[in-house]
Structure formats: structure tokens, C-alpha cells
């Protein structure tokens, strides 16, 4: 069955047209990822209009290619200029740039490219193996559980997305509210149309995404008139040969860092809201802590490039696992992928992999192929990267704003979508300026109707609200929602050693063990018993310490 | 408690926004079928958002440093300083607004080229050979995109009053 699906997916993608589109996607992603100020999400969202005329398989394969290219593109700018191309390659500059300045830019790039490749492959393997298994668990969710899962995704995104959780939660609620504008899907009644026919159709999801993310980002990039006129580099050419053999040898010597960092990347990606920007720093920090020579980090050592580059490429596999298995986007790029699926009338849910096996496996396979393509195209794109970075930011921003106009109109041939783009561009820019994170808002817009539909389904089964507390999965997600909401406060108070923080983790263990016990079977109650024992042990340990963290 | 700061004003604006949406939620008709009223879910969100905005307001009035948005900037004081500081984004908004307003008249191709050309001039300056270079760039890039969508993807983009529909 799995082999049949893989073969069917390969059949769809193994043709000149598909491979060409994917190669163009990887190349575009590499360039977009390499330009500081341009995010991967922006590159992926701007690819959407091009894919509307394609089949779902081809469109998604192209977008996955842009995504894979973008994840790897950031390292070129980071290593050669010291300015990370994307937030997910910040830690790469810590050792990549010093290594390049020490006279080994070819080796630094080689290590970066091959680490990205390894991270991508490990993540693709986990995506292919974990997503179908997780989807089987997802099929156990009922409307109560699914509703609470959405609430959990929004809460944890808000708590991870910014400095202040309240702002993150407000942004998430705003996204949910704006999604309700237009006809509601359950009853078909007009909501918040304020007498306007255009608002009756609601805001187009893609126009909202492009406005919030791409439009507002471009305005941010040109805010400073002097910086807007400058180009990233004045170099006219680049004579660097990527040292593949030496890089492979260096990576093989440090394979444990590759595996550990890739796993950090995948599991960070699985967590909604925590993307590559967190994973690369986390992996770098772990590599440093586990190293026998931590003092050398920051001076230009291979370990410091391998860790962030393996992890940031692995992140997207994790985010796609959750998207494809549960229909919940792990980050903004996964939210855009969800938009692409919706555009093709495919609604991601736990039954997605079983309902659309060829499409699902074509996403897996395109992730693999794009990772290989990235390896081959990196050297070629290095030359183009230098040329692109000579173009001043204001030129790039003007062209892309012009393209946003054409692309958004082309999606539905509706003029109102362009106004949506403008208003949401202004809103996104203002929110950025006032410190409101955009990711929870985007997830709110994406997940709003999923939450409402599941709430409506739950209430249609029974108007009673007690199943939210008595159904195991609903209770499970409710508990982790509450604990994730309290987490930022816990972190802040933990440093001050406030007494209540001593009980946070044990209470979380006890609380989570309850729904696990209720789920039945063998594994989950066993896990619940373990959590219960662990919570008890933590309490005992803290009592021994005189209700302090350390005696 | 401190006097109103920028965060307090944002929080009050959010509360007003919630109020407007709550008021508008009474215009939502309720059908005689289904259990969840069409106005119920938006009202739940408005309730949550109002509660969060209230916390935000209280935090801002208490002067919580974690929520402060006002970072140090090199902006000159006063309205003139504000306009100077935000000159480029304001130009982008204004020109995009004009671009959208003129779209039905000029069509996507001409309007797009003019938008990109004027925007590059405003952001990058008009000195030296720039106007000519900007013209080349605007025509080539928007022309390419327009051709790709029109001929490659078969999209009917607005033609305006000067160009016959293709």
C-alpha cells in the first residue's frame, strides 16, 4: 500500500515539467532565503499565485521546493556577509562568518550545504514514517478534541511568538475574529459585512497572508531611506569553490551533532509556533554544551555550522508532519501550504493521508527530491546570489510590491482581494511596529473556521459542554493548553525562585496523566503511570530540598 | 498607575474595536436550524479579546516593561518628524492606494509599470541615470510578469480603457 502510493507519487513527479518547476522553485527559494529581509514565508506565499493553474501535486511540489531552497539559502548570506539571510540561519553566522574570514569560505559553505542536506533528509525520512502514524492517532479525535487541539495550537504559538504573551493572544484572537467576517460556513448567515457586498464573501485567505507577511515585511525593509538605497554587498564577483569532499569528511566526523540537531529541528517544527528561528539557536546551544571544546565556538569551527544548518532544514519536516497528520500548521510556511491545499479543495485533516494518499506522498517525495536539488543548485546560485545582492533593497521591494498586485488579483480575478492586500499590509506593518507577533494572527485566520466548525459539530451531537472535560483527547489538549499558557509566567517566576513554580512541573505531570489513563489500551496508561511516578518523584525531591530547587 | 502611554492607547483602541464588533454582532441573523448560533462564536472571541485587551490596558497603566512598544528611535519629535520617519512606508501605502484606484482605468500592465516606476523613483531618487534605469526595470519586470500570467497561465488581468481585452 505504502509502496504503491510512493510509486504513484513518483509517477506524478518524475517528468520533465515537474522536475523543471521544482528546480526553478529550489533556485528561487535559495535566492529569496539568501536576501536578508526576505523571509522564507514571503517566498513561499509569493509562489502561491503561480501555482493556481497547476494541479495540486505540481503546485505543492513547487512550493515545497521553494521552501527547501529557502531553508538552505540563508546560509549563503550568513557565511559570506555575516548577515543572516533568514532568522533560521542566525546561529550559522556565529561560526560560518568567522570561518569564511579565516580564509575558508569554500569549506564553510560546503559544511553548511551538506549539513542542510543531511538535516533535510533525516527530516524527510521522519516525515514519511511519522506522519502516517500520527494521522492514525488523529483519527481518534472527535470534534471536542479537535476544537481543543486548535486552541492549544493558538495558545502555544502566542506564548512562543513574542516577548509578551498577552499581545500574542490578542493577535491570535484578532485572527479568529477577522476570519468570521463574511458568510458563516455552518448556517450561511452574513456576519460583520457592514452592508458591503464585498465583505459578504469574507477576506481571501491568501490575500490576507500576502498582506500580513510579504507586504508588511517589504515596507519594513524600506523604512530607513538610507538603508533602502544600499545593496547588501558591493562585490562584483565571487571566486569561491565549495569544498564538498572536505565538508563531507568534517560532517562524517561529527555525525552525532548532525543527528541530534536534526532531531531538535524536527521536534521544534512539530511544536506549533516554534520554527527554524528557535531551532537553530537551540541546536547551536546544545552542540556547544555537549562539546569538549565549547570555548572554540564562535571562532569558526565546523560544529558551529553543522548544528544550526542541520536543525533549520529539519524544522519544516516537523511542521509538515503536524500539518499532514492533523491538519494543524506548525508554522507560517505550513499555514501557507495549508492555504495551497484549500485552494485545490483539499481540506487537511487526520484523514488527509488516507483520503489523498498520492497527494500526500507526492509532498513527501518532493521534499526528498528538492533536498537533492538544493545540493546541486547551491553552487550555481552562489553566483546569482552575488548579483542579486548588488541590487538595492528599494528596487527589489518595488518590483515585489508590483508582483504582489498581479499575483493576488490572479488568484480569483477579484479586485477586492487587492484592497484586502493593502489593508492587511497596513495592519501587519502596524502590528509589527507595536510589537504584536503576526504568527498567532495568521494561525488564527487559518484555524478560525476549523475551530468553529468543530465546535458546531460538537454542539450538534450534544449541546452539553461536559464532553470537553470528559473526552480524553479534549481533556488532554485542555490541560496542555492551560500549562502552555502558564509557561511564560513560570519561566519568569522560576528565575526568582517563587514557591508556586516548584509545583508547576509535578502538577503538569499529574494532570496530563489523567487523560492518558482514560484513553485505555496498554501504552498510554503505562505512560500515564510513568508521568505520575515522575511527578511524585519531583515533589519528593523538592520536599527533601526544603521546598527549594537546590538544597 | 501612570498616565496614558502608547500601549494604553492601543489597548483602548482594541476595546473600542471589540465594542464595535460586539455591537455589529446583533445584526447577525439567527436561523431556525443548527445548535450553534452564527453570532455565538464571534461573541466568544470578542469576549476573550476584550478580556485580553483589558489585561493589556492594566499592564500598560502599571508600566510593565515587557509590553512596552516604544523603543528608542532616531525620530525627530512632532508631526514633521513622524512624517519624515515613516516617509517610505507612507509613500508605499499612498502609491498602492492610487495604483488600486487607477487599476480599472489603466489596466494591470500600464498601472503596474507606472506604480513600480514611481515607487522606485520616490524611494531611490530621481538623480542621474536613475529615471531611465528605473523605467527599464519597471517595463521589463512587470511586462514579464504580466505576459507570464496572461499568456502562460491564461489569467484575464484588468485591461483598462486603453487596451483591448486580450
User: Measured between CA atoms, how close is B164 to chain A, in angstroms?
Assistant: 17
H helices of A293-437, in order, are 303-326, 332-343, 352-355, 357-388, 393-412, 415-433
Query: How many whole angstroms separate alpha carbon A365 and alpha carbon A7?
Result: 10
DSSP code, position B150: I
* Chain segment B99-123, per-residue pLDDT in tens: 999 999 999 999 999 999 999 999 9
* Chain segment A196-248, per-residue pLDDT in tens: 888 888 898 888 988 888 888 888 888 888 888 887 666 555 667 778 889 99
Considering only CB atoms, B88 lies closest to which of A53, A222, A434, namely A222
Share of chain B above pLDDT 70, in %: 88
Query: How many whole angstroms separate alpha carbon A391 and alpha carbon A230?
Result: 8
- In terms of Cβ atoms closer than 10 Å to its own Cβ (0-12, 13-18, 19+), residue A19 is middle
User: Which pLDDT score, from 0 to 100, does residue A24 have?
Assistant: 92
- In terms of Cβ atoms closer than 10 Å to its own Cβ (0-12, 13-18, 19+), residue A505 is middle
User: Which pLDDT score, from 0 to 100, does residue B71 have?
Assistant: 52
Query: How many whole angstroms separate alpha carbon A355 and alpha carbon A352?
Result: 5
Nearest CA in chain B to A421: B96
Query: What proportions of chain A, in percent to the nearest 5, are helix, strand and coil?
Result: 75, 0, 20
Output the 3-class SS for A477-494.
HHHHHHHHHHHHHHHHHH
Q: Which of residues 422-481 of A touch B (CB under 8 A)?
A: 422, 425-426, 429, 433-435, 451-452, 455-456, 459-460, 463
Query: How many whole angstroms separate alpha carbon A480 and alpha carbon A489?
Result: 15
Least Cα distance to A502 among A487, A510, A490 occurs for A490
- Cβ A427 vs Cβ A436: under 8 Å: no
What residues does A182 pair with on adjacent strands? A191
Residue predicted with more confidence, A143 or A327: A143
Query: How many whole angstroms separate alpha carbon A51 and alpha carbon A40?
Result: 17
Share of chain A above pLDDT 90, in %: 27
Q: Does residue A376 register a pLDDT over 70?
A: yes
Using the Cβ of A170 and the Cβ atoms of chain B, whether some distance falls under 8 Å is answered with yes
Over residues A460-487, mean pLDDT: 91
Query: How many whole angstroms separate alpha carbon A169 and alpha carbon A155?
Result: 7
- Kindly list the residues from chain A whose CB atom is less than 8 angstroms away from the CB atom of residue B38: 184, 186-187, 189, 191
Query: How many whole angstroms separate alpha carbon A144 and alpha carbon A136?
Result: 17
Q: Does residue A37 register a pLDDT over 80?
A: no
* Chain segment A500-543, per-residue pLDDT in tens: 999 999 999 999 999 999 998 899 999 999 999 999 999 999 89
* Chain segment A107-155, per-residue pLDDT in tens: 998 998 899 889 988 988 888 888 888 888 888 888 999 899 889 888 8
Using the Cβ of A419 and the Cβ atoms of chain B, whether some distance falls under 8 Å is answered with yes
Q: What is the ipTM of this complex?
A: 0.91
* Chain segment A455-470, per-residue pLDDT in tens: 999 998 988 889 999 9
Over residues A52-66, mean pLDDT: 87
User: Which pLDDT score, from 0 to 100, does residue B14 have?
Assistant: 96
User: Which pLDDT score, from 0 to 100, does residue A326 have?
Assistant: 85
Q: Which helix (H) or strand (E) holds A191?
A: strand A190-191
Q: So where are chain B's domains?
A: 6-62, 83-152
Give Cβ neighbours of residue A292 (< 8 Å, ≥ 6 apart).
Answer: none
User: Measured between CA atoms, how close is B1 to chain A, in angstroms?
Assistant: 19
What are the C-alpha distances in Å from A524 to residues A59, A507, A517, A527? 39, 18, 7, 5
What are the C-alpha distances in Å from A208 to residues A126, A393, B90? 32, 23, 20
- Find the angle CA(A380)-CA(A383)-CA(A385) to the nearest 5 degrees: 105
DSSP code, position A291: -
Q: How would residue A551 be classed by pLDDT, with cut points 50, 70 and 90?
A: low
Over residues B80-105, mean pLDDT: 92
Give Cβ neighbours of residue A432 (< 8 Å, ≥ 6 apart).
Answer: A216, A220, A438
* Chain segment A288-299, per-residue pLDDT in tens: 888 888 888 888
Considering only CB atoms, A392 lies closest to which of B42, B48, B124, namely B124
Q: How would residue A402 be classed by pLDDT, with cut points 50, 70 and 90?
A: very high
Quick one: how far is CA B90 from the chain centroid? 10
- Cβ A182 vs Cβ A201: under 8 Å: yes
- Kindly list the residues from chain A whose CB atom is less than 8 angstroms away from the CB atom of residue B22: none
Residue predicted with more confidence, B57 or A279: B57
Least Cα distance to A399 among B120, B109, B104, B28 occurs for B120
Give Cβ neighbours of residue A548 (< 8 Å, ≥ 6 apart).
Answer: A497, A502, A542
Considering only CB atoms, A177 lies closest to which of B21, B146, B149, namely B21
Burial A337-369 (b: 16+ CB within 10 A, else e): bbbbbebbebebbbebbeebbbbbbbbbbbbbb
Q: Which of residues 218-247 of A touch B (CB under 8 A)?
A: 218-220, 222-225, 228-229
- Cβ A253 vs Cβ A117: under 8 Å: no
Least Cα distance to A359 among A63, A60, A123 occurs for A60
A56-81 vs A332-343: helix axis angle to the nearest 10?
Answer: 160
Residue predicted with more confidence, A118 or A321: A118
User: What rounded mean pLDDT belongs to chain A?
Assistant: 86
Report the sign of the C-alpha dihedral through residues B112, B113, B118, B119, in that order.
Answer: positive
What are the C-alpha distances in Å from A442 to residues A22, A179, A447? 26, 10, 8
Highest mean pLDDT among A334-338, A413-417, A547-551: A413-417
User: Which pLDDT score, from 0 to 100, does residue A163 have?
Assistant: 67
Q: How would residue A25 be classed by pLDDT, with cut points 50, 70 and 90?
A: very high
Please report how many Cα atoms fall inside a 13 Å half-sphere around the Cα of residue A238, on the Cβ side.
26
What are the helix and strand counts (H, E) for chain A? 26, 2
Residue predicted with more confidence, B18 or A154: B18
Q: Does residue A418 register a pLDDT over 70?
A: yes
Q: How would residue A423 be classed by pLDDT, with cut points 50, 70 and 90?
A: very high
- Kindly list the residues from chain A whose CB atom is less than 8 angstroms away from the CB atom of residue B119: 398, 401-402
User: Which pLDDT score, from 0 to 100, does residue A113 have?
Assistant: 87
Considering only CB atoms, A186 lies closest to which of B28, B34, B56, namely B34
Q: So where are chain A's domains?
A: 2-141+234-408, 467-544
User: Which pLDDT score, from 0 to 100, does residue B73 have?
Assistant: 61
Cβ pair B155:A460 closer than 8 A: no
User: Which pLDDT score, from 0 to 100, does residue A411 have?
Assistant: 80
What are the C-alpha distances in Å from A527 to residues A267, A417, A531? 19, 49, 6
**How many other C-beta atoms can be found within 10 angstroms of the C-beta atom of residue A444?**
26
Q: Does residue A316 register a pLDDT over 90?
A: no
Least Cα distance to A11 among A368, A344, A365, A320 occurs for A365
User: Which pLDDT score, from 0 to 100, does residue B165 have?
Assistant: 54
Q: Does residue B37 register a pLDDT over 60?
A: yes
Nearest CA in chain A to B110: A402
User: Measured between CA atoms, how close is A392 to chain B, in angstroms?
Assistant: 9
A&B contacts, CB < 8 Å: 183
Amino acid at each position: 500500500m505504502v509502496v504503491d502510493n510512493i510509486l504513484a507519487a513518483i509517477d506524478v513527479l518524475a517528468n520533465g515539467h515537474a522536475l523543471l518547476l521544482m528546480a526553478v522553485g529550489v533556485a528561487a527559494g535559495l535566492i529569496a532565503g539568501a536576501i536578508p529581509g526576505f523571509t522564507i514565508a514571503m517566498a513561499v506565499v509569493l509562489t502561491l499565485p503561480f501555482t493556481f493553474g497547476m494541479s495540486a501535486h505540481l503546485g505543492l511540489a513547487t512550493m515545497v521546493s521553494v521552501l527547501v531552497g529557502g531553508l538552505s539559502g540563508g546560509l549563503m548570506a550568513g557565511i559570506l556577509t555575516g548577515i543572516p539571510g533568514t532568522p533560521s540561519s542566525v546561529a550559522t553566522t556565529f561560526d560560518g562568518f568567522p570561518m569564511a574570514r579565516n580564509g575558508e569560505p569554500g569549506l564553510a559553505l560546503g559544511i553548511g550545504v551538506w549539513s542542510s542536506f543531511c538535516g533535510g533528509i533525516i527530516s524527510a525520512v521522519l516525515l514519511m514514517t511519522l506522519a502516517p502514524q500520527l494521522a492514525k492517532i488523529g483519527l481518534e479525535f472527535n470534534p471536542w478534541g479537535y476544537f481543543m487541539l486548535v486552541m492549544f495550537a493558538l495558545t502555544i504559538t502566542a506564548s512562543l511568538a513574542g516577548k509578551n504573551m498577552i499581545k500574542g493572544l490578542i493577535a491570535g484572537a484578532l485572527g479568529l475574529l477577522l476570519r468570521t467576517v463574511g458568510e458563516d460556513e455552518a448556517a450561511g448567515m452574513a456576519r460583520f459585512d457592514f452592508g458591503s457586498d464585498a465583505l459578504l464573501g469574507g477576506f481571501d485567505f491568501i490575500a490576507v497572508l500576502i498582506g500580513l507577511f510579504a507586504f508588511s515585511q517589504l515596507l519594513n525593509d524600506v523604512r530607513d531611506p538610507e538603508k533602502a538605497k544600499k545593496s547588501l554587498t558591493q562585490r562584483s564577483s565571487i571566486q569561491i569553490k565549495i569544498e564538498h569532499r572536505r565538508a563531507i569528511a568534517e560532517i562524517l566526523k561529527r555525525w552525532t551533532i548532525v543527528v541530534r540537531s536534526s532531531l531538535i529541528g524536527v521536534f521544534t517544527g512539530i511544536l506549533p509556533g516554534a520554527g527554524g528561528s528557535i531551532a537553530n539557536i537551540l541546536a547551536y546551544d546544545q552542540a556547544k554544551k555537549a562539546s569538549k571544546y565549547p570555548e572554540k565556538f564562535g571562532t569558526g569551527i565546523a560544529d558551529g555550522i553543522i548544528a544550526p544548518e542541520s536543525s533549520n532544514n529539519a524544522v519544516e519536516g516537523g511542521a509538515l508532519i503536524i500539518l499532514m497528520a492533523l491538519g494543524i500548521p506548525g508554522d507560517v510556511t505550513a499555514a501557507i501550504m495549508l492555504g495551497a491545499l484549500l485552494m485545490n479543495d483539499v481540506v487537511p485533516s487526520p484523514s488527509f493521508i488516507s483520503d489523498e494518499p498520492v497527494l500526500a506522498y507526492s509532498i513527501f517525495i518532493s521534499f526528498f527530491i528538492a533536498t537533492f536539488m538544493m545540493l546541486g543548485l547551491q553552487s550555481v546560485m552562489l553566483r546569482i546570489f552575488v548579483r542579486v545582492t548588488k541590487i538595492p533593497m528599494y528596487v527589489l521591494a518595488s518590483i515585489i510590491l508590483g508582483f504582489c498586485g498581479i499575483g493576488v488579483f490572479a488568484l480569483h480575478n477579484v479586485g477586492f482581494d487587492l484592497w484586502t492586500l493593502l489593508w492587511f499590509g497596513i495592519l501587519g506593518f502596524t502590528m509589527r511596529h507595536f510589537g504584536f507577533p503576526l504568527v498567532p494572527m495568521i494561525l488564527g485566520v487559518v484555524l478560525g473556521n476549523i475551530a468553529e466548525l468543530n465546535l458546531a459539530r460538537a454542539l450538534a451531537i450534544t449541546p452539553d459542554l461536559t464532553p470537553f472535560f470528559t473526552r480524553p483527547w479534549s481533556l488532554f489538549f485542555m490541560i496542555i493548553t492551560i500549562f502552555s499558557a502558564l509557561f511564560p509566567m513560570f519561566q519568569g517566576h522560576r528565575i526568582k525562585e517563587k514557591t508556586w513554580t516548584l509545583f508547576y512541573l509535578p502538577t503538569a505531570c499529574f494532570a496530563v496523566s489523567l487523560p492518558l489513563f482514560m484513553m485505555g489500551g496498554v501504552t498510554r496508561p503505562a505512560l500515564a503511570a510513568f508521568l505520575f511516578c515522575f511527578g511524585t518523584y519531583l515533589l519528593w525531591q523538592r520536599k527533601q530540598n526544603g521546598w527549594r530547587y537546590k538544597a | 498607575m501612570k498616565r496614558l502611554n502608547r500601549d494604553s492607547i492601543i489597548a483602548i483602541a482594541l476595546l473600542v474595536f471589540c465594542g464595535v464588533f460586539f455591537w455589529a454582532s446583533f445584526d447577525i441573523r439567527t436561523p431556525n436550524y443548527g445548535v450553534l448560533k452564527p453570532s455565538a462564536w464571534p461573541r466568544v472571541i470578542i469576549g476573550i479579546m476584550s478580556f485580553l485587551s483589558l489585561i493589556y490596558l492594566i499592564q500598560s497603566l502599571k508600566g510593565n516593561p515587557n509590553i512596552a512598544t516604544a523603543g528608542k528611535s532616531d525620530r525627530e519629535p512632532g508631526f514633521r518628524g513622524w512624517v519624515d520617519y515613516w516617509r517610505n512606508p507612507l509613500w508605499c501605502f499612498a502609491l498602492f492606494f492610487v495604483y488600486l484606484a487607477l487599476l480599472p482605468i489603466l489596466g494591470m500592465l500600464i498601472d503596474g509599470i507606472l506604480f513600480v516606476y514611481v515607487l522606485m523613483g520616490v524611494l531611490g531618487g530621481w538623480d542621474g541615470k536613475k529615471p531611465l534605469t528605473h523605467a527599464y526595470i519597471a517595463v521589463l519586470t512587470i511586462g514579464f510578469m504580466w505576459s507570464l500570467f496572461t499568456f502562460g497561465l491564461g489569467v484575464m488581468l484588468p485591461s483598462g480603457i486603453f487596451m483591448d481585452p486580450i
